[in-house]
Structure 1
Amino acid sequence: MTVRPKTLAWVAAQLADGERIVGVDILVGGITAEMRRLTIAGPDGTRALVLRSYVDVPHAKDALTREAAALTMLAATTVTAPELVGVDALADECEYPSLLMTALPGRAVLDDAGLEARIPLLARELVKIHALQPVERPPTYQTFTTAGSVIVPPGADAQTWSAAIDVLRGPVPSYDGRYLHRDFQPGNVLFDGQDLTGVVDWAGPSWGPADLDVAHCAANLALIHGPARGLEFVAAYEAAGGLLAKAPADRRYWLIRDALSFSEELDAVTGAWRAAGRPDLTVRTAEQRLDTYLQELGGRHH
C-alpha cells in the first residue's frame, strides 16, 4: 500500500459496511498534493475513490476546507465534479491533511490530437462554472506575480517582456465578480473519448473576474499546444456565451498577468505535463511558446 497507516484507517472508516480497499494507484500530474486512486470492493461490486493528501504544504487547511465546500455546493448543480466522501483538513486522524472523494470517469487529455473538438467543450464548461451563484461566496481571488517577480526566459524578446511587465505596474481593472475555479485548465478537466466527464481540483475556488479563469486556461493551452490555441480558447469562451471585460485593455491585462505568472513556475508545470505523457514539453519549449504567446497578446505595444 502507498497510503500511510493512519490515513488508511481513516479512509476505511469512511467506507460503507462490507467495503474494503483492494488497490491503490498513484495518480500523476499534480504539483502540490499526493494523489491516490483507491479501488474499493464491497457487496455490490467495486468503485473508485480519490485521496488527496497535502504533505508539508502550509495552505493545506485552507485548500481542503475550500475544496470540501466547493464539492458540497457543486453536488446540486449541473457542473460535474467529484462527490465529497470525507475531509480531515487539520490532520486530526491522518498523517497529513487529506480529502476523500469519488473518482470520475475519463482522464485529463493533453494530446494535440482532438484538441479542436475539446476547446469548445472546455469553454462551455467554464461558462457554466462562472454562472454559479453559491449561497456563500468563496474568498476574493489572489494573484502573487509582480513586476519584480517575473523571470524573463533567456533569449526572450526584451521589448515584448518589458511592455508586458509594465502592464502589471498599472491599475487592476474593475470587474463584475464571478465564481472562479481558479485552476481551470486541461490537466483538471476529464474526457472519455470526446465527452467531457467532469472538472477536478477544486482547492482554490475564488470570487473575481471571469477573465482571470479564461486567461489561465488560455495560457495553459498556449504552452501545451502552441501559442495560437490560447486566443482560440478566448474566442470559444465568448462564442459559448461567456462575458469578458468590455475594454480591450482590460482583457489584455488579465491575459498578460496570467501568462507572466507562468514564468515563475515553468519547472513545476512542465514536469507535471511530462509525467502526464508529454515528454516533448521541456522547459525550453515552454519558454519559447510563452515568449511567442506574449508577442501575440500585443506585448510589443503600449
Structure 2
Amino acid sequence: MTDAELESVVAAVSTVLRRTVSLVRPLSGGQHARTLLVEDSTTEYVVRLFPPLDNAVTHEPQILDRIASLGDLAPRLVATGKYRESPFIVTSVVPGGPPAPGLPLRDIAAQMAAVLARIHQLDGVGLRTLSWQPPHGDSTIETHARQAWKQLDPADHVLTHYDFWCGNALWDGAKLTGVVDWSGARSAPRELDISWCRLDLVLLGSIDAADQFLTVYERESGHSLLDTRTWDLMAAARSASRVESWAPNYLGIGKPDLTARVLRSRMDDWTSLLCTK
C-alpha cells in the first residue's frame, strides 16, 4: 500500500470517527487484513482493512459483543466503515506484542490454553457455524484425515476463535495480555481451536509444548478430550500443502528463524508422526 493510499485510509477513518486521526504505524502479522495503528489527540486505535466485499464488518461486531466479558483481553468495537470497496473495523488497542524472547514454549502453551478455556465458556449460540466437510486431496495426511473423519462428533459446539495461534495472542514480556483478530470466530467444536494451536506450537518447535497445552486446557476447562489425534490430523490436512506461505506471518511476530524450509520440515515430521500413530 502506497503512502498516498495509507493517507486516504486514515482520512476515511477520520470521517467515520468524526475527528481527525493520524497514522502511527502499520502493524505486522497476519495476511488477511492490513492493520494500522492510528491516534487522535488522546487515544490510539487499531484499524483493520479487509479485502473488497469481505464480510468481516457485518460479522465481527457481534463477536466483539459476545466476548466483552473477557475485559482487557479482547478488543472493543469503536466503529466500522469502508475505504473504496474495502471494509474496515476500528477497535480499541489491546496492549502487548510478541512474547518475550526466550520465553519457554511450555509457558506460552499454558497461558494460551488457560485463556482458550475461558473463550470456550462464552455463548456461541446463533453464530455462523463451521462449514463441515471432509478433507480433499490425495496426500498421505489428507487420506488419513479423510479416513478418520467418520470418527468425529461435530455436535458439541462452542464459540471458537477459529485462528487461535501465537500470532493472535499479545504479550507483555512473559504475560499474555490479549487475543485479537476475531473476524473468523464462529460456532464450532472446541477441538478445532485446540488442534490449530497445537499445530502452531509444533511449528514453533515443541511437541512437548503442544502436549502441555492440551493438559492445561483439560484442567482449566474441565473437559477431557478423547480424540486428539483425529483433530490433529484435520488441522494438519487443512494446512500441510501451504505451510511455507506462513513464513511471513511468523516473521511479523519476530520469528525469522521459521523460514519456509523450516516450516515444511517440521510439518512433514508432524504429519509423519500423526500418520504412524
TM-score, structure 2 normalization: 0.87
Which residue is 2:75 aligned to? 82
Q: Give the alignment of 1:40-79 within 5 angstroms.
A: 40-41=40-41, 46-56=42-52, 60-61=54-55, 63-78=56-71
Whole-Å Cα distance in 2 between the matches of residues 294 and 112 of structure 1?
Answer: 27
**Structure 1: how far apart are the matches of 2:255 and 2:75?**
25
Whole-angstrom CA distance in 1 between matches of 2:92 and 2:4: 18
Q: Does 1:168 pair with 2:142?
A: no
Where does residue 155 of structure 1 map in the other structure?
A: none
Is the 8 Å Cα contact of residues 250 and 256 (structure 2) preserved in structure 1?
yes
Runs of 5+ unmatched residues, structure 2: none
Letter in 2 for 1:168: R
1:256 is aligned to 2:246: no
After superposition, the Cα gap between the structure-2 partners of 1:112 and 1:263, relative to the gap in structure 1 and judged at 3 Å, is farther
Deviation for aligned residue 1:204: 0.8
CA deviation profile, 1:229-256 (whole Å, cap 9, x unmatched): 222212221122352543xxx3221111
Q: Give, in whole Å, the separation in 2 of the partners of 1:279 and 1:143.
A: 34
> Which residue of the partner structure matches residue 185 of structure 1?
165
What is the CA distance between 1:110 and its match in structure 2?
Answer: 7.9
8 Å contact kept, 1:53–1:99 = yes
**What TM-score do the two structures reach when normalised by structure 1?**
0.80
Q: Is the partner of 1:146 in helix, strand or coil?
A: coil
**Deviations 1:201-248 (Å, cap 9, x if unpaired)?**
0011111211110000000111023333222212221122352543xx
Q: Deviations over 1:23-67 (max 9, x none)?
A: 3311111111111111221xxxx32111111134x6x12x23221
d(CA) in 2 for partners of 1:2, 1:103: 24
The residue that corresponds to 2:32 in the other structure is 32
The residue that corresponds to 2:219 in the other structure is 239
The residue matched to 2:265 in structure 1 has which SS? Answer: helix
Q: Summarize the Cα distance change of 1:35–1:145 in structure 2 as closer, same or farther, 3 Å threshold.
A: farther
Partner of 1:133: 123
* Alignment partner of 1:7 is 2:3: no
Q: CA deviation at 1:296?
A: 3.9
Give, in whole Å, the separation in 1 of the partners of 2:238 and 2:222: 23
Correspondence for 2:137? 148
1:284-295 to structure 2, matched below 5 A, reads: 284-295=261-272
Query: Which secondary structure does the structure 2 equivalent of 1:256 belong to?
Result: helix
Task: Name 2:208's counterpart in structure 1.
Answer: 228
Partner of 2:79, secondary structure, is strand
Q: Report the secondary structure of 1:51's partner residue.
A: strand
Contact 2:10–2:22, Cα closer than 8 Å, also in 1 = no
Is the contact made by 2:245 and 2:260 (CA closer than 8 Å) also made in structure 1?
no
Counterpart CA distance in 1 for 2:7 and 2:174 is: 39
3-state SS in 2 of match to 1:184: coil
Question: Aligned partner of 2:214: which letter?
Answer: V
| Matches of 1:82 and 1:228, distance apart in 2 | 31
The residue that corresponds to 1:300 in the other structure is: 276
Query: What's the offset of the Cα at 1:2?
Result: 6.2
What's the offset of the Cα at 1:279? Answer: 1.6
Q: Distance in 2 between matches of 1:300 and 1:102?
A: 46
- The answer for unaligned runs of 5 or more in structure 1 is 151-160
CA distance in structure 1 between the partners assigned to 2:271 and 2:172 by the alignment: 32
Q: Is residue 2:94 matched to residue 1:104?
A: yes
> What is the total number of aligned residue pairs between the two structures?
273
CA distance in 1: counterparts of 2:132 and 2:233, whole angstroms: 12
Cα deviation for residue 293 of structure 1 reads 2.0
Whole-Å Cα distance in 2 between the matches of residues 87 and 260 of structure 1? 35
Q: State the AA in 2 paired with 1:211.
A: E
Change (3 A) 1:171 1:111: farther
SS at match of 1:265: helix
Q: Which amino acid in structure 2 is aligned with residue 98 of structure 1?
A: F
Tell me if structure 1 keeps the 8 A contact 2:161–2:186: yes
User: 1:20: how far off?
Assistant: 3.1
Match of 2:176 among 163, 172, 196: 196
- Deviation string 1:66-87 (CA, Å, 9 cap, x unpaired) is 2111112222445721110111
**What CA distance in whole angstroms lies between the structure 1 residues aligned with 2:46 and 2:201?**
26
- The secondary structure found in structure 2 opposite 1:137 is coil
